[in-house]
Amino acid sequence: MRRRSLFRWVFLTATLTLAACARGPADYQQTLLVFGTLLEVKAFTDKPDEFHRAVTDLDQTFQRMHRQWHAWKGEGELVRLNRAFAAGEALLISTELVELLRQSQHYAKLSDGLFNPAIGRLIGLWGFHSDEPPGGPPPAMNQIQGLLDTAPSMEDIRFSGNRLSSANPSVAIDLGAFAKGYALNLAIQRLREFGIDNAIVNAGGDLCVSGSHGDRPWIIGIRHPQGEGVIASVGITDGECVLTSGNYERYREYDGIRYAHILDPRSGYPVEHVASATAISHEGALADAAATALSVAGPGAWEKTAARMGLTQVMLVDEKGRVYLTPEMGQRIEFQQALPEVIIGVSESDGSM
């Protein structure tokens, strides 16, 4: 279920040339290398010194998160926690990670288990616990079934204050489909604390924004998941986050068959029929979790999943290039090229964004 974003978001707003003597708000931008991807922090502000201090602070925060929440590298909190689960032991962890895991448990329940960060062992079995694309044949069916039989779930985690344990030793947490959305929300909050109220933070195509770009919203272009160029553009308003789950940037290929890195927790196999799923919400962590759940749900069940998770701003692109939209998303998105088919779903959610 761990995945990287599919869409490369192209900013349609013009970038101003920076000058030390610039008067009034201007565009300032810095790029960091965190979470295994480039993170762009862009602000429209008249406080360049505060902006640079804020970015330095963010860099330190994100580097710490990367060390502590990496699922298989180093000796961070998450590695130690998974080791404790496997040994049937309890471990005292930070309040921040406790909150993150409580949120992920909640969203797993909302998604009816389609979003399941507890399947880290399954992700490792498929070879996606690696910085390099896995090669060779897929895992054997009996290996996959063996893990499915143990049914690892977020419900297996026991919370006793900050001390956690698991009723199931097969539980191994991988936050790759969740932590980035949480971190992007945190970045916007931290920028506000430094007085930067108009900003956009983009981590490999997943992003959150605050304020606006002058007298207009932040406008982003969406690259087509199955081709070149921009498929659509959308204006993103204050506090919104846009998270995408896609199946073509990270995969395993063997004997002419491509296996997506997004895994269905029910079958143990990569999802099919979906090229990407995008969710917009003021809660980055929710949008991140939902994008994965929607990919697993697929064209036949995406509306039900969106409704269960309280989302009204959703877009799905299937393997044939058909685009599925909630009515609310359909009203705000502008397509830049002809599409094979656009299907507007029926909004079942009474949730708010």
Q: How far apart are the first and last CA of the chain?
A: 24
Residues 181, 285 contacting (CB under 8 angstroms): yes
Answer with the residue of higher pLDDT: 87 or 348. 87
Residue 315 CA to residue 337 CA, distance in Å, equals 16
| Predicted structure pTM score | 0.88
Alpha helices, DSSP H, located in the chain: 48-69, 77-87, 95-110, 120-125, 141-150, 179-193, 284-297, 302-308, 327-332
Residue 43 CA to residue 52 CA, distance in Å, equals 10
Residue 220 CA to residue 230 CA, distance in Å, equals 10
Average pLDDT over residues 277-286: 95
pLDDT at 16 over 60: no
Residues ≥6 apart with Cβ < 8 Å to 121: 147, 152, 170, 172
Q: What is the pLDDT of residue 226?
A: 67
| Residue-range domain boundaries for the chain | 9-46+197-344
Q: Which of 264, 260, 328, 269 lies closest to 300, judged by CA? A: 264
Q: How confident is the model at residue 288 (pLDDT cuts 50, 70, 90)?
A: very high
Residues 218, 212 contacting (CB under 8 angstroms): yes
Q: How confident is the model at residue 302 (pLDDT cuts 50, 70, 90)?
A: very high
Average pLDDT, rounded, for the chain: 87
The string of DSSP letters for 88-106 reads: T--EE--HHHHHHHHHHHH
Residue 20 amino acid letter: A
DSSP 8-class letter at 119 = B
Average pLDDT over residues 322-349: 81
pLDDT at 60 over 70: yes
Q: Packing angle between helix 179-193 and helix 284-297, nearest 10 degrees?
A: 160
CATH for 9-46+197-344 (3.10.520.10, 3.40.50.10420, 3.40.50.1370, 3.40.50.2300): 3.10.520.10
Average pLDDT over residues 264-276: 93
Q: What is the pLDDT of residue 24?
A: 83
